[in-house]
Amino acid sequence: MAEKKSEATKVKRKRHPQHDAARQLFVEGNMELKQISEYLDVSQRSVGIWCREGKWERDRELFQTMPERLAQRLQQMAMRIMELSGIEYDALEPQERIKIVEETKLLNVMSDSISKISKSIVAINDRIDQSAAIQVLIAFNKYVVANGGIKEVQTLMPLQGGYIKSLSDGV
């Protein structure tokens, strides 16, 4: 009996005004609970409860493995590689120069590979978005037809086709 009452209480409880900001700082800002509680002036206990109940750890992990995020990290790595290859060449001994030239070639190949991988990740994500949109539209059309709206679906299909084409065109 008490268990049902606590579940009902959870549903009725209003969300704290800083809840969404705390989640965003944790998931996307990669901040720790203590930092968030200090930054938003909310108890660390409250932020911890929100994190646990909202499964923010899982959300953070998903956010960090999103194709856009992976592409961004790969681009950051490529930029760092380019920075590291900017060594003062004139100050080196001849043998060190040869070694640096070979390492720089390797770094440039790695940087180019990282750039290609990040572009591929973004392209894959675009195709996934298009596929998901098509699946949603198909499910929606089936729902409308099942509820007697075949004429409505026939009206919407050209618009849906245009929408799908705009996704593939990148509009």
Tens digits of residue pLDDT in 38-96:
989 999 999 999 999 999 998 888 777 666 666 666 666 666 666 666 656 566 677 87
pLDDT(111) > 60: yes
Is residue 74 located within the same domain as residue 28?
A: no
Number of domains in the chain: 2
Q: Percentage of residues in the chain with pLDDT exceeding 70?
A: 55
Q: How confident is the model at residue 30 (pLDDT cuts 50, 70, 90)?
A: confident
Picking from 14, 42, 63, the residue at the C-terminal end of a domain is 63
Distance CA 164, CA 12 (A): 40
Q: Is 88 helix (H, G, I), strand (E, B) or coil?
A: coil
Average pLDDT in the 93-103 region? 73
Is residue 19 located within the same domain as residue 40?
A: yes
Picking from 26, 45, 63, the residue at the C-terminal end of a domain is 63
- Give the Å distances, CA to CA, from 111 to 51, 96, 104, 134: 37, 22, 10, 35
Q: Which residue has the higher pLDDT, 133 or 79?
A: 133
H helix runs in the chain, sequence order: 2-12, 19-27, 33-40, 44-54, 56-64, 67-84, 94-146, 150-169
Is residue 57 located within the same domain as residue 86?
A: no
Q: Name the CA dihedral angle for 33, 38, 41, 47, rounded to a multiple of 10 degrees.
A: 10
